[in-house]
Structures are given as C-alpha cells and as structure tokens.
Structure 1
Amino acid sequence: MPRPIRALAAAGLAGVLLAGVAVAPATAAPTTVASKAPYFSHRTSKLEQKRVDRVPTPKLDWYRCYDYAECATVRLPLDYDKPKGAKTEIAVLRVKARDQKRKIGSLFLNPGGPGGSGTSIALAAPYFLGDDVLDRFDVIGVDPRGVNASDQVKCFKSVKDQTRAYEGLDVAFPYTKKEEKAYVAASKRVGKACSTTGKPLSGAMSTAEVARDMDVLRRAVGDKKLTYLGFSYGSVLGQYYANMFPDRVRALVIDGVLDARAWFGKGKSGNVLQEDRMRSAQGATKALREILKRCKAVGVAACPLADGDPAAKFELLTKRLKAKPLVIDDPDFGQFTVTYADFISFILGGLYGPYGYYDVAFMTAELLVLTDPSAKKTAREQARTSVVELAAEARKQARAYDFPYDNGLETFLGVDCTDANHPKNAGSWPSRAAKADQRDKYFGRLWAWISAPCARDTWTVRDEDRYTGPFNRRTANPVLVVGNYWDPATNYKGAVASAKLLPNSRLLSSDSWGHTAYGTSACTTRAVDAYLLRLTLPKKGKVCVGDIQPFEDLLEPEAAVRADSSKSDLAAQGAPRRGAPKQLPPVVAPLPAVGSLNGR
C-alpha cells in the first residue's frame, strides 16, 4: 500500500520502526489500583482451548544475536485445527530483563502495521521503554506469520512478476482518472496473486492466528498470563487476544487504538470501505485544522503561514498542485515532481510525529513560493534548496521493486484482506474514495485506497478460523486503552469505542501530537509503565498532555529573526529556511507498504 500501515514515525537503529520520545518513569500520578480478583472474567472458549492447548509447549533454543539480544525460531501449526499438519516458522527475539532476580515475567510487544516487525521493536526496547520496565521484564518480539524473519508470504514467483503487477501502485494515492484506472488494475493483479500463488500462507495470516501463536509462545517463555503492549494495528491484535483468551490476561495495554469491530466490519458494514468504518482521515483532518488554527494564533514569529489565513493558504497550494504538479530541476539530484498526492502524503507522514506542525507550516510555505510565478528569485532558490533536500532523502528511502523480493505490501494485505470484510468490486473504489475525500478533506481519498486489493471479487483466499467476535469479553485483569486526541492514523474515537465495549477496561486520554502517545508524554508513559509493572490503573477520566505542543519550541527570539523576511508577504519574500526540528530518539512503529501512503 502506499505508505499507510498504521504505525508510529520511523527513526534510526537499522530499520527498526519507532515513534515518540523515550521517557524514563518518574513518580506515578494519582491512580487507582486494579483489583487482583475482579468479580469475574470470561473464560477461553473450549474451541480455542482445544486449538492452542494441544500444541506441545515449544522449546525455544535461544542464541545470542544483535549484540545484546537473543533469537530463536519455532515451527507452529499453519492451521490450529490441524496441529500435526503443515507448519510455519515464527521468529522470536528477546531482550532479557536487566534484573533477573526481580523479574516479573515477559512483555510482548507489537508495533502495528499490519506487517510490522515484532523482533525489530523488541530490539529497540532499550531505546524507548522505561528503565523499570527494562529491569523487570524480558522483552519479547514476535514477527507475525508471513513477516520479516518468519516464513515470508510471497504472492509472486519472481521480482519480475511482482514488479510488473505493481505497476500502477507507484503513486502516493491515485487522484486522476488515469491513475485510478491503473491503481484498480494493479490492485486486482496483486489481490489475485496473493489468493493463488501466495497460498497457503496468505490465507493463514489473520489476526486470530497471530493471537494463537502469541498464546503458545506465552507458554513457551514460562508465563501463566500475558503481559502485552501493542501500538496502532497492534491494538487490534491486543483486542483479539483479550477476547479470545480473556482469562489469560495479566496486563494488556493498547495505544493508538482501532475499534476492532470497525476493523472487522460485521454484517452490512462489511460492504462499506474499512476507512468509512474507522475514519482515520477524520483524525488526520482534525489534527491539520488544529495546527493551522494554532499557527494563526502564534503569528509569523513561529509560523510562516500566519501572515494571512493559514487554512486558506494550505487550500491555495492544494489547488495549484491539482492544476499543475510542481517540477523541480536540480543539478545534483536530477528532476523531481511534486504532485498533489505527494504533498498530502508528506503532510500525513509529518503528522505521525509530534513535530508534524513543522512540516505543515514550512513545507506549505516553501511550496507556495515555488508554485508562485511572481515570487522573488532569492526566495525561490531558498525554498527550492529545502524541498530538494527532502525530495532527495525521500528518493533514497523510496520503495524500488528490484532485488531482493520485498513483501511489505503483501504482509499488510495478508492480514487486512483475510481478517476484515470489504466491498465486493475493486472498480467501486474511485467513487468510494471520492466520497471519503468530500467527507474528510485531503486525507479521505488517501486512506480509502489502502484496502483496494481486498475487494472480495479480487482477494478470494479466506481463513475459515478468523475471529469474528464477540469483542466485549471481560478479562482477568483490565485492559488499559490509550487514546491520543490528535492521532492522524488511529482516530481517538476508536479508543473511546473500544474502552466502552470492553467491560473491564480503563481509558487514558492524551492531548498529544503524532501517532500513539507512549513516549511523547511523560504522563502517559508513567501511567502505562505503572500498569505494566504494578497493575496500577490511572484514575477514571485521566487526561495527560503531550510534552511537545505545536509551535511552542519556535516561540523563541531566534524564531522572530528567522521570520523577519516573511512578515509582509510570504509569497513575495519567501518562507523562512527550513531547519531541522529537534531529533527524537528511536521508539516504536509499523512498516511502510507500497507507494508513499502511511500505515497503521
């Protein structure tokens, strides 16, 4: 998929996907203590007991890897109804607790996606988890079936076949009629390939299968109950586990929450787009509007769009790019084209991090200059330099369908298309996406196109053992549900709905920026750590505040100096030179798929 898999912003450490700022635990805020003996919990169904409990406890043959971690692989049933039948290999990585004598148990992590690497996020644990958590838990990462170091799903026999099939997906999202036609055709080719060549693994990657794998591995690491922290799509995995194995939950935290019912799409809702159910674009639009509103409030000293109406300037740029893509020639990097879809995708990518306001303000200002024929030469050169630098970096990271075989898109689809219900005909996506864009401006179309290969007539392989509900089971210990007001990928409403549905849960809200809240708010991070460590819940109605708020770091004397050249007329004078925002240490997140959409 063009870049969305729902996740966090990416940062360093050799391909580890991460998001947020690592914050060590501090003194806990006032809390209530979770009952050690809740009045009751639902029990794992006899069918699920039979499926997972008859699988012998695997012996994990750990070996040292990546300097400070341990790795292992295990072969688990491809189909839990046939435990002695075909197997699939699952990769596991462990970072051992630093205080083994006081170890509580194991903490399972999932970064989202679907398609994100659990082993990668576990390897990154020392960079974003609090010291107390690292002291007391072995951190466990599992690459879900089909993903990364586990047996990989492969929908095409060769890179050549894959490259030819993917032609048409090489846009951030389709906007013109020609692009839409090519995108639909490519979506059909990919969906059909995954439903044939990709079998049997492509039909055995549902979230339910991953939850079953995780329960067997919980037993393998010696834990009687599961302790889990899941981000973004990882919140769906957490909810599935909680409902499939409610009496096996020790502590379960989900951050950046998707409503599992909306994800699945039961009954008539299965005939509408997954985006129409989840409304990710609504969250992104809400965040963008708030940033533009705050831009106006802080003035040109901090925001170059504040000399006038920031929202109107943003709209003006989108109209210019729709009418004519921007072509930039650079002697060092060659020619770059910036389309309307490229710009919107870039803005969404920026909103994934707490400094997304910087991208909104400065990229918009720079592109306004470059699309204005009357702008002064010096202003154009300054803006061009900044945009070229970003474009060159994006080109380095762009997905090139060359050697080796990259199955990033196929891992996403292997879960989403097999898990959830989707409309029947891929040819209906253009009109559906257009309606989504009318409802949620700028981002509706982008999010809508992600699921196009999942059309029922295209994606025909099914997992007869996927989980279809219920999603309201009472767990042995509460589920802590973390929702971020300004999340551009997992709408805050998803957290509210999930917390209402799970009878034994607690909603922790965070007035934070970016995708997910852990690590970007010391308050949220403390609350999550307290629950993982001591089963201590935050008070009902607790609202945390993110450590980074739009434009506050730019309200400094030097910001005013930077803005001098733009006080009168931005288009004529040019935008302030784009500087590097404060760098974030690595922390958690999902993989990009095809194109430049963002994932969960």
Structure 2
Amino acid sequence: MTRRHRHARSTLVALVALSLTVTVGATAANAAPKTDRTSPYEAARVDRVPAPDPQWFDCAAAFADGAQCGTVQLPLDYDEPGGATTEVALLKIPATDQAHKIGSLFVNPGGPGGSGVQIAAAASQFLSPALLERFDVVGVDPRGTNYSSNVRCFKDLGAQANALAGLNVPFPVGDAETGPYIASSKAFGVGCSTTGTPLSGSMSTAEVARDMDVLRRTVGDQKLTYLGFSYGTYLGNVYANLFPDRVRAVVIDGVLDPVAWAGTPATASIPQTERLKSGQGASKALTEILARCATAGPDYCVTAGLGDPATIYAEIVASLKEQPLVITDENGEPVFELTYAILTSFLLGDLYAPEGSTYVDLDLSTVYSLLHPATGDVAAARAGLLAKYQALQAPAARSDAFANLGFPYDNSPEAFQSVLCTDGKNPAKAESWVPAAARADADAPGFGPLWTWASAPCARSTWTVRDEDAYWGTYSHRTSAPVLVVGNYWDPATNYQGAVAASSLLPNSRLLSSDSWGHTAYGTSACVTDAVDSYLLTGTPPAKGALCTGDAQPFTEPLGAGARSRTAVPERSLPPVVPPLPGALPRS
C-alpha cells in the first residue's frame, strides 16, 4: 500500500471499527471460538467489491464439451476498489446433475502461472464422475497470466529474448555461464520493476486469493470448495488463512512449505527456492530409484545390467562434467551438447512422472551406451536423446522465430517470476545465488542448484517493485472446515516435508500421505483419489495417519520387447499439473 492509499486505509479502518468492538466484546464474553474469523479489515475491503457478472458464453468449441467462459474486472488494488482494474478470465464446466449440485469446485494447476482455465477444461479427464455430477468446476487464470490480462516486462518478444538470453541453461556452471545468468537475472528484475508495473506489483498470491473470494460470491457459494496442486497449494493455504471462516473444503496436493515460500526476516538472506528444499526431494527420489534398480536386477532394470546403478550414474556425471557429450543427427551433424546440467534437467523431468523410474533407467542406460558404444545400440540411443531434446526445445524455438518480429508475446517467464518474487523474501543481490547454489549442491548434487537458481531474478536490489498487500503469515489459522493436506513421499518438486510443515501449522487440518512417485498424488492410486473425492463431496477427511501407496512402483515388471517406451502414457488420467520451475518437464 503506497502513500496515496493511506486515506483509503484510514476510511476503511473507520468502517470496521464498530465490527472490531463487537468482535472483541463477544470474545471476552464467550469461550474462544473454534473457528478463526476473517479479519474485519480484510473482510471489509473484499466484501465491498460487488460480485461481478462474468457474462458466461459457450466456449465448448475452443476448450471442452459444455465449457462456459467469461471475464470479470477486479480491483488492481483492493485498497482502492473504485480505481484501476485488471481483467480475469474464468472457465466453468457445469455439474452434470444441476438438481443435486453442491456448489462450485475451484481448481488450480500450479506454476505459479499455470492456467486455471485449462485445468478446468480438462476436468472430465481427471476428476471422478461423482465430482463432475455434483460440482460446477471453475478455473480462474490468476491475474497477469494466460487468458487474463497479461503482465509484460519488456516492450516486445525480441527485447525479452535479449534480456533473458543468459537464463537459457538449466543452471549455470562456471564463470562463462554464471556471469550472463546473473546479468539476465538483474535485467529481468529491472524490466518487471519498470515496464511490468503496475500489474507486476499486484500479482502476489494474496491478491489471487482475494480475487477467488470475490468470485466465490459470483458463483453463489457461501464457502469455498477448492482443489489445488503444486504452487496451487500455496494459493489454497493463503486463502484458508486470510478467510478461515469461509472454507467449506480445501485440498492442497503437492504442498509448498508456506513459511519457506514466503520467508521470514531471519531467512531473507537465503534464496526462496533454496529454502523450499525441492532439490533434496528430487535427490532423495533419484537415490531411491537407483537403489531399487540394483535390487531388482537386470531382468527389471537395464542400468543394473551395466553395473551398480549408483556407480553408473556417478561415472556419467563425472564424464559430462569433464567434457559434454556431443549429440549428432542421423547425418553426423552436431545438434546439441549434453552437459551435466542438461542431464540433471532431463532426470528431473523424468521424476515428475509416476513411472519416472522407467524414464530414469532409459536415460541413464542411453547415455552410458553413448559413452561406451559396445554396450548398446548407439544409433537408437542418439535418436532417443535427440528426440527428447527437440521436444523440450520446441517452445523456445517458436519464441526465437518471432523474436525479431516481437510478436506474438509469450509472457510465461513474467507470469512465473512476478508471483514468485512478490510472494517471497530474497537476498539483495543476484550474486548471492552463487554461494547459495554451492550450498544446495552439497545437499542435493545437481538438483540443488537447478532449483536454487530459479529465484535469482528476485534479488531485491533489482526486483524493486513490491506488492504492499502480499501475505506474510501466519499460516496457523483454525478454519471452519478441515483442510486436507496431501503429501507424496517421493515428490521431486514439492518436498514431502512441505506437506508435513503445512499440516503441522494448520490446527484444523488432516495429512494424507502417499508412498508414490512423481509430482503430486491425486490420480496415482484409488486410495488417494477416493479419499480426496470423498472429502470434497462430504467434508469428511480420511482417518488420522492415513497412508496410501501409488499404483506405479519402480521395477516391478520385467523387461520385455516393447514393454517400455519413452513416450508411454499412464493408463489412468492424471491432473495436468504445472511444475513449479521454468523448463521442467510436465508429466504425461
């Protein structure tokens, strides 16, 4: 809140003074309430915004059968509800049984910057028929992203490409990459603090939670029903703590530790993406896969037939650190160099899938065969890695093709960073990420730096725009209904300990643990899916201490001709979760 908002705050304080007096008196006269109340200040400034009319229209042809789309104008700053606005896009899939509809189920796929519109459009692919019958599924594109008004930190795509060129590695290794990475991180911060304003300074998760509360009234729900994945867990957590008495049912799956995400004065010198310990989660998952590969043996894991899997991996890493592997096309022309950093990003992408052990085995055995041609089909190995690299490079190639034209503009980098950097406390200078990445590498080799460097643009001396109404805690409000917290033991992006931390903070929450693989747990077993569905429908969480086991477990099926493929798709449908790291592979 800036100086020009002080008068608005003073007026609002006067408006809620009577409410404060009544609340204090009631608390003194009665026993402490079981549910925390939305603060009178927060309630007054959000509730005074009239519920907007999305003017729903048929958009089935563009998205999915039955889809209805709409847009609304919401305050850029909730301290000035009559001031500037930003456009927010919505998509609704109406309940198939309108006569027995419970209400609306808001969904978010993560990111930050993922499209709520698109995950709602995919509702029939991953939600149970029971949920589709009883809820209108509503997706909201968070302000500044996707089909909502876009934050834009550079004048055109060419300027964006030039400014961010140093970020085109998974993480920097050596001075030749670190210098440009730091320079681009600074340019990113400056761009979003100048050209990107004012929207870049109004994109904190707290603003999206406020938007969601207004839209809850728009769809006619007295309390919120919500299912959020990955970064969407922080959105659900912030909503539950801002509006604790407005919770009907909130599920957060693939949980970010909220205190680590936001930071505290004591941890502000530690980068946000180091605090989350995602790298440690990924490293733990890979180490376990290598151990299970060794136990299963060569009949189940190709890499085990080459030697001890952990030793094979260490040998590959040492070789790539010494000299990258040049990958050529069928004509022998070089296409790209497989560096240690690129291999790490490949493996992280593998670990996002419930069947990630299969992909890890394929990648390690493939690279090993290129380093030791006598051990495998070199042509097939080269083709496999080339196809994987080209699939990852396709979006970047499309952007580069338009860079000189400056059109169309892809704001996905700004969408991610504007939320991350306004939500969390970070060190002052981008150079601070050099020792931070070294610390993270010691704890989680490769994966630690990969995660840690992602927040370098947030260095506060160059990312100077602030959202004065961001949320900094606490995360321990007692909600009107239990919050269901779902954590996956082997999640490579949102460390299982994040779920433990969030659940320990929320006094009216229930932790559902899953011994499963990949990023998030919903859809990986009937145990998790049924528990979540039942809670959303009835409000009753699973029993305390509940533990599920994922259907896909490493190396439980023997190898066979055509049994495993890099392009294999799981039989069950999984929610289209957006990974909380630019460039990481989404799961199939």
State the TM-score, normalizing by the size of structure 1: 0.87
Deviations 1:359-387 (A, max 9, x none): 21111111011123xx2396322322322
> 1:113-192 alignment to 2 at 5 Å?
113-192=111-190
Partner of 1:312: 311
Q: Indicate if the aligned counterparts of 1:592 and 1:598 stay in contact, CA closer than 8 A.
A: no
Measure how far apart 1:591 and its partner are: 6.0
Deviations 1:32-88 (A, max 9, x none): xxxxxx961000001111110000111221000033200000000000000000000
C-alpha distance 364-378 of structure 1, shift in aligned 2 (>3 A)? closer
> 1:44-83 alignment to 2 at 5 Å?
44-67=38-61, 68=65, 69-83=67-81
Partner of 2:289: 291
Partner of 2:528: 524
Structure 1 segments of 4+ aligned residues over 6 angstroms from their partners? none
Moved more, 423-432 or 269-278: 269-278
Partner of 2:237: 239
Deviations 1:82-136 (A, max 9, x none): 0000000000000000000010000000111110100000001000001100000
Measure how far apart 1:210 and its partner are: 0.2
Counterpart of 1:505 (choices 498, 505, 509) is 509
Partner of 2:218: 220
Partner of 1:541: 545
Q: Indicate if the aligned counterparts of 1:386 and 1:578 stay in contact, CA closer than 8 A.
A: no
Measure how far apart 1:237 and its partner are: 0.4
Deviations 1:357-414 (A, max 9, x none): 1121111111011123xx2396322322322232332333446343311111101111
The higher relative CO (CA closer than 8 Å, separation ≥ 6) is in: 1
Structure 1 vs Structure 2 CA RMSD: 1.9
Counterpart of 1:405 (choices 403, 409, 424) is 409
Counterpart-to-counterpart distance in 1, 2:167 and 2:314: 26
Measure how far apart 1:284 and its partner are: 0.4
Deviations 1:457-493 (A, max 9, x none): 1100001111111110000000000000000000000
C-alpha distance 488-379 of structure 1, shift in aligned 2 (>3 A)? same
Measure how far apart 1:147 and its partner are: 0.4
Query: SS state of the match for residue 377, structure 2?
Result: helix
Moved more, 332-341 or 470-479: 332-341
Q: Indicate if the aligned counterparts of 1:111 and 1:233 stay in contact, CA closer than 8 A.
A: yes
Counterpart-to-counterpart distance in 2, 1:322 and 1:265: 33
Counterpart of 1:389 (choices 387, 390, 395) is 387
Matched, 1:328 2:332: no
Query: SS state of the match for residue 506, structure 1?
Result: strand
Counterpart of 1:469 (choices 466, 473, 491) is 473
Q: Indicate if the aligned counterparts of 1:155 and 1:198 stay in contact, CA closer than 8 A.
A: yes
Partner of 2:349: 349
Partner of 1:365: 365
Counterpart-to-counterpart distance in 2, 1:96 and 1:293: 47
Measure how far apart 1:173 and its partner are: 1.4
Name the structure where helix makes up a greater proportion of residues: 2
Q: Indicate if the aligned counterparts of 1:42 and 1:247 stay in contact, CA closer than 8 A.
A: yes
Counterpart-to-counterpart distance in 2, 1:265 and 1:303: 41
C-alpha distance 594-516 of structure 1, shift in aligned 2 (>3 A)? closer
Partner of 1:96: 94
The one-letter code sitting in structure 2 at the alignment partner of 1:448 is: T
Counterpart of 2:519 (choices 515, 519, 526) is 515
Measure how far apart 1:596 and its partner are: 5.2
Counterpart-to-counterpart distance in 1, 2:375 and 2:544: 57
Query: SS state of the match for residue 423, structure 1?
Result: coil
Q: Indicate if the aligned counterparts of 2:524 and 2:574 stay in contact, CA closer than 8 A.
A: no
Partner of 1:581: 568
Query: SS state of the match for residue 241, structure 1?
Result: helix
Counterpart-to-counterpart distance in 1, 2:526 and 2:427: 41
C-alpha distance 419-189 of structure 1, shift in aligned 2 (>3 A)? same
Counterpart-to-counterpart distance in 1, 2:232 and 2:454: 18
Deviations 1:510-560 (A, max 9, x none): 0010000001111000000000001121110000000111112x326x36x
Matched, 1:87 2:105: no
Query: SS state of the match for residue 305, structure 1?
Result: helix
Query: SS state of the match for residue 155, structure 1?
Result: coil
C-alpha distance 194-144 of structure 1, shift in aligned 2 (>3 A)? same
Moved more, 441-450 or 385-394: 385-394
Counterpart-to-counterpart distance in 2, 1:178 and 1:61: 53
Q: Indicate if the aligned counterparts of 2:513 and 2:547 stay in contact, CA closer than 8 A.
A: yes
Counterpart-to-counterpart distance in 2, 1:280 and 1:593: 10
Measure how far apart 1:160 and its partner are: 1.7
Counterpart-to-counterpart distance in 2, 1:225 and 1:596: 35
Counterpart-to-counterpart distance in 2, 1:463 and 1:313: 48
Counterpart-to-counterpart distance in 1, 2:230 and 2:454: 16
Measure how far apart 1:275 and its partner are: 2.8
Counterpart-to-counterpart distance in 1, 2:586 and 2:172: 14
Measure how far apart 1:331 and its partner are: 3.6
Counterpart of 2:37 (choices 38, 43, 58) is 43
Counterpart of 2:485 (choices 481, 485, 490) is 481
Query: SS state of the match for residue 435, structure 2?
Result: helix
Q: Indicate if the aligned counterparts of 2:516 and 2:550 stay in contact, CA closer than 8 A.
A: yes
Matched, 1:590 2:578: yes
Counterpart-to-counterpart distance in 2, 1:578 and 1:313: 21
Q: Indicate if the aligned counterparts of 2:241 and 2:479 stay in contact, CA closer than 8 A.
A: yes
Counterpart-to-counterpart distance in 1, 2:376 and 2:312: 21
Counterpart-to-counterpart distance in 2, 1:56 and 1:228: 22
C-alpha distance 377-241 of structure 1, shift in aligned 2 (>3 A)? closer
Q: Indicate if the aligned counterparts of 1:251 and 1:535 stay in contact, CA closer than 8 A.
A: yes
C-alpha distance 393-203 of structure 1, shift in aligned 2 (>3 A)? same
Partner of 1:28: none
Q: Indicate if the aligned counterparts of 1:173 and 1:597 stay in contact, CA closer than 8 A.
A: no
Measure how far apart 1:306 and its partner are: 1.2
Unmatched runs of 5 consecutive residues or more in structure 1: 1-37, 563-576
Counterpart-to-counterpart distance in 1, 2:515 and 2:171: 30
Measure how far apart 1:578 and its partner are: 5.5
Query: SS state of the match for residue 228, structure 1?
Result: strand
Counterpart-to-counterpart distance in 2, 1:579 and 1:225: 43
Partner of 2:248: 250
The one-letter code sitting in structure 2 at the alignment partner of 1:229 is: L
Q: Indicate if the aligned counterparts of 2:103 and 2:221 stay in contact, CA closer than 8 A.
A: yes
Q: Indicate if the aligned counterparts of 1:520 and 1:548 stay in contact, CA closer than 8 A.
A: yes
Query: SS state of the match for residue 171, structure 2?
Result: coil
Q: Indicate if the aligned counterparts of 2:54 and 2:72 stay in contact, CA closer than 8 A.
A: yes
Unmatched runs of 5 consecutive residues or more in structure 2: 1-31
Deviations 1:163-200 (A, max 9, x none): 11011111111112211111000000011000000000
Partner of 1:446: 450
Matched, 1:431 2:435: yes
Partner of 1:555: 558
Counterpart-to-counterpart distance in 1, 2:35 and 2:527: 29
